[in-house]
Structure 1
Amino acid sequence: MTDKTQFRPHRRAVMAGVASAAALAATGVRAQGAPVSLNIIDVAGNLQLTQASIEAFVKANPKLISRLNFSRAPSPELPAKLKAQQDANRVDIDLVLTGPGAMSDGIQQGLWVDLWKSHGAALPKPEDIYHEQALMMQKNFGQNEGVAVVYSPSGPLFGYSAERLKTVPKTAAEFLAFVKQNPKRFTYARPLNSGPGWTFLQGLPYILGDADPSDPMKGWDKSWAYLKELGTGIDYYPTGTAATMKEFGDGTRDVIVTTFGWDINPRVLGIVPKEAKVFALANTHWIPDTQFMCVPKGVQAEKMPALLALINHLLKPEAQAATYDKGYFYPGPAIKGITLDMAPQESRDILKEFGRPEYDGMILQTPTRPPLTPERLVAAFRRWDQEIGVGHGAPK
């Protein structure tokens, strides 16, 4: 989902861009010569939150960046594409905007520049800028390679139609009974390519009280058994979240897996009815989601000053406040001290109408747990594909 709203930079945005370039020069990063073009690929829907800020920065810094080229691709396809380019020594992607899937694969395959180590002097200290939960995601998930740009407590939540679901399940057992008694009325998307699916997969061990929620191979016996049983009432698993929203909106599904952002934004866009409701199961723990900025290994050295300046700009308060957007990654900001009253008026109006008053309390009162480490997340995705998704539309 892409927001094409026109953006006119305020004077503060222009000054922030100039300041970013000045700060970069002070770090000792090699000075840039002629302005460069940047190829930015989005595999997480992040441009909806950041494209206007990126374009404002470029407009304010013509001596750094001459041209932007945006593209989008499914997350699972990116690592192999990048690896092939790197093996051929012909990398033509300069910045990747990614969620956990491609981020984890990239770390495992050594695809990313270790920005925080190699260029730490050109970046702010994480402890100085990130709020507590975003800092946890940066350290545990982004590690040295990715730079966290947006944050959401995420879920897992379930969206439902009050007209079609009369008794809302409160426990995992009640939910399983509903799915088995009402086949084909619930589904969720393949976790590798879905934020809600990713969150549900990792949140389930906490809901079920599994032996070790941090170890999908040895500590998820209850979860894998539950997912297999749940699958007896599921006809197929869509390849992405958007398909589940469409099926929920047209009445094909009574219940779907969702998150804070995927609850709000599709209702804003009219894909899902405004009156749709949400519930969380007993023992829910939030599994937060974060999107990162990553620079692939093999990027031309002369582009690094511009990339670092752009990354710095997207961590500034005005760019961060813009990530409230239309609720797509609610709340959005990864930087501490960014509140809704700092967001554009359009965002404030939308969230007043489509947000849920109970969300702020739910976010504060529900425990948050770290996602799996990248290597374990990759293992969990692989096991889900092989044991759960097989035969239901997921790759074998």
Structure 2
Amino acid sequence: MSFPGRLSVKLAALGAVFVTALGSIAAHADPITLNIVDVAGNLQLTQKGFEAFKAKYPNLVSNITYTNAPAPQLPGKIKAMQAAGRADIDLVLTGTDALAAGIEQNLWLKLLPDNAGAFPGLLDKYAPGPRKMQDLAQGYGIEVAYMPAGPLIEYNPAKVGDPPKTPEQLLQWCKAHPNKLIYARPANSGPGRTFLMGLPYVLGDKNPQDPINGWDKTWAFLKALNDCIPYYPGGTSAVMKELGEGTRDMTVTVTGWDLNPRALGIVPADFKVQAFDNMTWVNDAHYMVIPKGVPKDKVAVLFKLMNFMLEPAQQALTYDDGYFYPGPAVKDVTLARAPAHSQEVIKKYGRPEYDKWIADRPHQIPLSAQAMVAAFQKWDRDIGAQKTK
């Protein structure tokens, strides 16, 4: 008999939170400025959506400022800001890297289930793959974009006649062609961390979700690979620049970082990708998170903004130029709904094999927040310590 009572009390409480949030919006006389920080390159996918929100609700938002920052530096900045009692950042756009670090350091406002009433039907909106990625946020973020990521190998076909199909072949190629393979520091690179998290599945490690006690083969492989890699750039953009200029012949990549640099002319259009024979996809996502300490009136507006960004019209914009391919996290947002320019780019630079690989290969979510932080720390200490720039 007690369960229905508890449930009704809980629903009433959630409703009260939502009503309070709406009341805060109504009571806020003047439109506000929102400060958004992007550590994932997500603004390529979402800035037009944010601007559409501002245009639709001028009574709520007068201005939006946008800042880009490296993911590893953000948690320290937010921690200092919170210690000083300031709220200079209202919304953070992040991949799994800074999401995990912020959860670990208790930096983010808990959104779910605490404020579930403000996000009606949220979980039912997501397609199956993105739905699992939303769980990864542990209630601290709202997923806004999705990508079945990799790991994939990208290479210059003029220099690589027989691309590696296994990690062992990759190591052999690297040793035979020293300094021609690089990848970026995983703590600040989607392709880098996808490679790091994908190797345990390909190599058959005993526990792919436990980087400290379950990745013996992965750490041994990365140490061996370290001998023929000249250095580890601090981000993926530098990797793609060197690949495109011909300084390097091969790197690790993910679907979006394959399509987008070729569409932008940074990497030649004819460069190719290869999947490992027994690859498991490690999926990726971008999230909207709110630092603790943001004023309640702003939080109420941010909740409304987050819901707006999950509407089909805004989700269709995330196809972009293939940066986070495919992009949409919610159900039934097909390429046909994307802007004409996005459709043209993806038809020209997309790869038919992606649909087949995505359908045929198994999929896994990334490491939990705590495990991912541990993996980054171990990689920084044991692999990249002497070679990261």
TM-score, normalized by length of structure 1? Answer: 0.92
Contact 1:24 1:305 in 2 (8 A): no
5 Å-filtered alignment, 1:1-396, equals 27-29=19-21, 30-32=23-25, 33=28, 34-139=30-135, 141-393=136-388
Aligned partners of 1:24, 1:344: CA distance in 2, in Å? 39
Unpaired runs of 5+ residues, structure 1, are: 1-22
Q: Give the 3-state SS of the residue equivalent to 2:139 in structure 1.
A: coil
Contact 2:40 2:71 in 1 (8 A): yes
1:160-218 CA deviation, whole Å, 9 max, x = no partner?
Answer: 01100011112111111000111000010000000000100000001100111010000
Contact 2:243 2:249 in 1 (8 A): yes
Aligned partners of 1:117, 1:25: CA distance in 2, in Å? 11
Contact 1:160 1:256 in 2 (8 A): yes
TM superposition shift of 1:60: 1.0
Q: Give the 3-state SS of the residue equivalent to 1:332 in structure 2.
A: coil
Aligned partners of 2:163, 2:333: CA distance in 1, in Å? 35
Aligned partners of 1:26, 1:213: CA distance in 2, in Å? 39
Contact 1:105 1:374 in 2 (8 A): yes
1:313-348 CA deviation, whole Å, 9 max, x = no partner?
Answer: 100000001100100000000001111111111111
TM superposition shift of 1:27: 4.5
Contact 1:285 1:369 in 2 (8 A): yes
Aligned partners of 2:233, 2:159: CA distance in 1, in Å? 21
Displaced runs of 4+ in structure 1, greater than 4 A?
A: 23-28
Q: Give the 3-state SS of the residue equivalent to 1:31 in structure 2.
A: helix
- The root-mean-square deviation of aligned C-alpha atoms, in Å, is 1.4
TM superposition shift of 1:26: 7.3
Aligned residues: 371
Contact 1:24 1:122 in 2 (8 A): no
Structure 1 window deviating more from structure 2 (23-32 vs 366-375): it is 23-32
Identity percentage over the alignment? Answer: 49
Which amino acid letter does the alignment assign opposite residue 86 of structure 2? Answer: R
Q: 1:94 to 1:26 in 2, by over 3 A?
A: closer
TM superposition shift of 1:357: 1.4
Aligned partners of 2:146, 2:381: CA distance in 1, in Å? 30
TM superposition shift of 1:118: 2.7
Aligned partners of 2:286, 2:56: CA distance in 1, in Å? 25
Contact 1:190 1:239 in 2 (8 A): yes
Unpaired runs of 5+ residues, structure 2, are: 1-14
Q: Give the 3-state SS of the residue equivalent to 2:36 in structure 1.
A: strand
Which amino acid letter does the alignment assign opposite residue 126 of structure 2? Answer: Y
TM-score, normalized by length of structure 2? Answer: 0.93
Aligned partners of 2:50, 2:56: CA distance in 1, in Å? 10
Which amino acid letter does the alignment assign opposite residue 43 of structure 2? Answer: L
Aligned partners of 1:188, 1:304: CA distance in 2, in Å? 38
Aligned partners of 2:166, 2:267: CA distance in 1, in Å? 25
Aligned partners of 1:327, 1:125: CA distance in 2, in Å? 28
Contact 1:42 1:98 in 2 (8 A): yes
Contact 1:40 1:69 in 2 (8 A): yes
Which amino acid letter does the alignment assign opposite residue 363 of structure 1? Answer: I
Which amino acid letter does the alignment assign opposite residue 253 of structure 1? Answer: R
1:191-247 CA deviation, whole Å, 9 max, x = no partner?
Answer: 000000010000000110011101000000000000000011001000000011000
